Amino acid sequence: MQNATAAEAPVTLTYRDAVREALHAALRDDPRVFLMGEDVGRYGGSYAVSKGLLETFGAERIRDTPLCESTFVGAGIGAALGGMRPIVEVMTVNFSLLALDQIVNNAATLSHMSGGQLNVPLVIRLATGAGRQLGAQHSHSLEGWYAHIPGLRIAVPATIDDARFMLAAALRLPDPVLLFEHLYLYNMQGTLTEGLEQVDLERAAIRRTGRDVTLISYGWSLHKCLAAAATLAAEGIEAEVLDLRSLRPLDEATIMASVRHTHHALIVDEGWRSGSLAAEIVTRIVEQAFYELDAPVARLCTAEVPIPYAQHLEEAALPSPARIAAAARELLTSARGP
Partner 1 sequence: MTQSRLHVPHPPARPGEKPDFSYLEIPPAGREPRPDTLAPALEIERLGTGMVRVLDEQGHAVGAWNPHLEPEDLQVALRHMLLTRHFDERMQRMQRQGRISFYMKSTGEEAVAVAQAMALEPGDMLFPSYRTQGLFIVRGKSLVDLMCQCLSNTRDMCRGRQMPIMYHWAEGNIFSISGNLATQFPQAVGWAMAAAIKGEDRIAATWIGEGSSAEADFHHAMTFAAVYQAPVILNVVNNQWAISSFQGFAGGERRTFAQRGPGYGIPGVRVDGNDFLAVYAVTRWAAERARASGGPTLIEHVTYRAAAHSTSDDPSRYRPKEEWQAWPLGDPITRLKNHLIALGEWSEERHAALEKELEAHVTACWKEAVTYGTLTEGPTLDPVSMFEDVFHDMPPHLKRQREELRRLLAAQHAAAAAQVPDGEG
Catalytic residues: 69, 138
Nearer to partner 1, 263 or 323 (CB): 323
Least separation in angstroms between CB 7 and partner 1:
37
Least separation in angstroms between CB 201 and partner 1:
30
The rounded distance, in Å, linking the Cα atoms of 149 and 38 is: 25
Nearer to partner 1, 39 or 292 (CB): 39
Among candidate residues 203, 198, 183, the one with its CA nearest the CA of residue 131: 183
Nearer to partner 1, 66 or 337 (CB): 66
* Cβ neighbour number for residue 54 with a 10 Å cutoff: 19
Among candidate residues 167, 79, 59, the one with its CA nearest the CA of residue 119: 79
Residues whose CB falls within 8 Å of the CB of residue 268, separated by 6 or more in sequence, listed in order: 215, 216, 217, 221, 224, 225, 278, 299, 300, 301, 319, 324
Nearer to partner 1, 4 or 322 (CB): 322
Give the residues lining the site for partner 1 (CB under 8 A): 38-39, 41-44, 46, 59-60, 63-71, 94-95, 97-98, 133-138, 273-274, 303-306, 308-313, 316-317, 322-323, 326
Least separation in angstroms between CB 313 and partner 1:
5
Nearer to partner 1, 14 or 111 (CB): 14
Least separation in angstroms between CB 189 and partner 1:
21
